[in-house]
Structure 1
């Protein structure tokens, strides 16, 4: 290879994101040997065509993949490499879940099983369903861990679960079998809750207790599950709910038909055309009526556009056979809930582009 196509180890380190010492280690281990070694000085040079391999190697090591597995991935075809990567991620997730369970046991031992403040006692299947429904409105955003959490507010009458990804806000209110001992609020790590859902669902009654730095889920015949509290402040969702405009259009649509229309819709954005005759699901910039759905509609005609990834989960988690859409304008939040059970409510933000039809 001509010297003009080679770069010294320092330059290659900069471009690949690997340190010079790491490059020497990977060269000695056979994973990334240099393209050329000067026989007199011992200086190592790398080719530009080695950058892709070096970058992949670095990324695999950043997710704690062992050297033997890295070598297997680098030497495999695309399909086999993807399978090996999935296997590694499954091991990491399994190890993390096991570590969380062990940490909960250690925490209880260190704290001498500190008495918890009762937040609520709830039927396990009901709590599990509520957690799964509301957590669909979470998101993993760098620097905003609170968006991956579930906000819990408890008082002597009810316990409210709320989550938001900034495009959706879902909230569900449950009436506990035993109420909170006093008012309590906190944002719980969504991953910890997801990991506990299977045990919660299989428990007739779950005692939810506030403990230092988290909540504890107590279930008869099962190990306690500890879920961490996130320190970041949860967005002021109550102010958002209180500042909503008046509803100008209300449409009640069969949930299954609306979901099917969204599943069949080819694009990432969808428009709902709401008139006294029903709801049309169609491409956002197309005058074609699209898929007509039967609906009970009151108020003004309206055309409103959504991202499918925002609207679909908001509709799919609604409880019951019919979903009610409370519309406030083409660029205002839409309230989506069951037509006959209002204990799960979702706000979905449209993509404003048009005025009423």
Structure 2
């Protein structure tokens, strides 16, 4: 007779989240043998100490881990188990990326292998830099997948890349070697184009073409890369840009010095204190005066507060040794760009002035 502390297979199935048939399979495969089997009835019984192993086994199978790998994880120490899990997830992610790319290729050829609409021809290293700079303003947010995308607008004069996470908006304008055949706009999947950056950077020239359901990147002596188009509507950033008022305070400061001050700042929130000849990074509560950085300032003195995660990426991606900040008051977007090159521009939203750290 079974021990009264043992559970029949039905009860154990409920405790572990595994079905009775799955438990029989794992018993036969040696991954989770019952603690006792009634020799007369064949009923299987499990010990309470086996519940944790059963739950872990179920979770491993839920992420599609093969039985051999499951056995290895269950039979090793925590550090090795973590390594095996990371290895398995990396393979899944790699397989998913490859599948997305192959699906994009298939979709682009469903209408026949016709030449794509020329969006622009650009220097590969320049396009790669622009993509990486602008993509810092993306966000993976449930329900708003378009915020992870890179919006592309092409005309006969320029191509503009834009991304936003609603707290930052980064845009860079590039002059193509060969312009678009007609105006074009679409939002490319951020993960797809991010995965193509290494190939883009190693190509002297990249031809960006519009194809059904996506964008095709054609590079000499390299396989074409395909990026999906996001179906969601991109936020109306042009309206926001057009509604910006004139700057009331402008500060130009050395980029490296400002970044160092931000890196040394201990909190998640900060105040930029702008006076006649300096910019300093201070705690929001004003308990420490901060270190003044020499700056060229015109307009009104100002205190403006930011999340570190909003301001730092906006400053770090600016081009050139000096960064220019155009401010319109403590509660309006700040325009951040290079002091001598304006083709990369970032808008950064401040936080409420009564926000405490």
RMSD of aligned C-alpha atoms? Answer: 2.8
CA distance in 2, matches of 1:347, 1:49: 55
SS at match of 2:196: helix
- The equivalent of 2:43 in structure 1 is 42
Equivalenced residues, count = 351
CA distance in 2, matches of 1:347, 1:58: 46
SS at match of 2:188: strand
- The equivalent of 2:297 in structure 1 is 297
SS at match of 1:295: strand
Q: State whether residues 8 and 46 of structure 1, in contact with CA within 8 Å, keep that contact through their aligned partners in structure 2.
A: no
Superposition map of 1:20-99 within 5 A: 21-32=21-32, 42=43, 47=48, 50-51=51-52, 53-99=53-99
- The equivalent of 2:244 in structure 1 is 244
- The equivalent of 2:260 in structure 1 is 260
- The equivalent of 1:12 in structure 2 is 15
How far apart are 1:55 and its partner, in Å?
Answer: 4.9
CA distance in 1, matches of 2:221, 2:261: 44
* 1:162-181 deviations in Å (ceiling 9; x for gaps): 11112211111111111111
How far apart are 1:222 and its partner, in Å?
Answer: 1.2
Moved more, 68-77 or 158-167: 68-77
How far apart are 1:225 and its partner, in Å?
Answer: 0.9
Moved more, 170-179 or 246-255: 246-255
Task: Identify if the C-alpha distance between structure 1 residues 278 and 178 changes in structure 2 by more than 3 Å, giving closer, same or farther.
Answer: same
Task: Identify if the C-alpha distance between structure 1 residues 114 and 278 changes in structure 2 by more than 3 Å, giving closer, same or farther.
Answer: same
Q: State whether residues 336 and 347 of structure 1, in contact with CA within 8 Å, keep that contact through their aligned partners in structure 2.
A: yes
How far apart are 1:263 and its partner, in Å?
Answer: 1.8
Q: State whether residues 151 and 188 of structure 1, in contact with CA within 8 Å, keep that contact through their aligned partners in structure 2.
A: yes
Superposition map of 1:330-349 within 5 A: 330-349=330-349
- The equivalent of 1:193 in structure 2 is 193
Superposition map of 1:200-239 within 5 A: 200-239=200-239
SS at match of 1:8: helix
SS at match of 2:142: coil
Q: State whether residues 108 and 211 of structure 2, in contact with CA within 8 Å, keep that contact through their aligned partners in structure 1.
A: no
- The equivalent of 1:283 in structure 2 is 283
CA distance in 2, matches of 1:219, 1:209: 11
CA distance in 2, matches of 1:264, 1:191: 31
Moved more, 208-217 or 194-203: 194-203
CA distance in 2, matches of 1:134, 1:62: 36
Q: Is there any run of 5+ residues in structure 2 with no aligned partner, and where?
A: none
How far apart are 1:38 and its partner, in Å?
Answer: 7.4
Scaled by the length of structure 2, what TM-score is found?
Answer: 0.87
Task: Identify if the C-alpha distance between structure 1 residues 116 and 54 changes in structure 2 by more than 3 Å, giving closer, same or farther.
Answer: same
Moved more, 137-146 or 268-277: 268-277
The structure whose Rg is larger is 2
Moved more, 62-71 or 334-343: 62-71
CA distance in 1, matches of 2:282, 2:31: 52
Scaled by the length of structure 1, what TM-score is found?
Answer: 0.87
Q: Is there any run of 5+ residues in structure 1 with no aligned partner, and where?
A: none
CA distance in 2, matches of 1:91, 1:97: 10
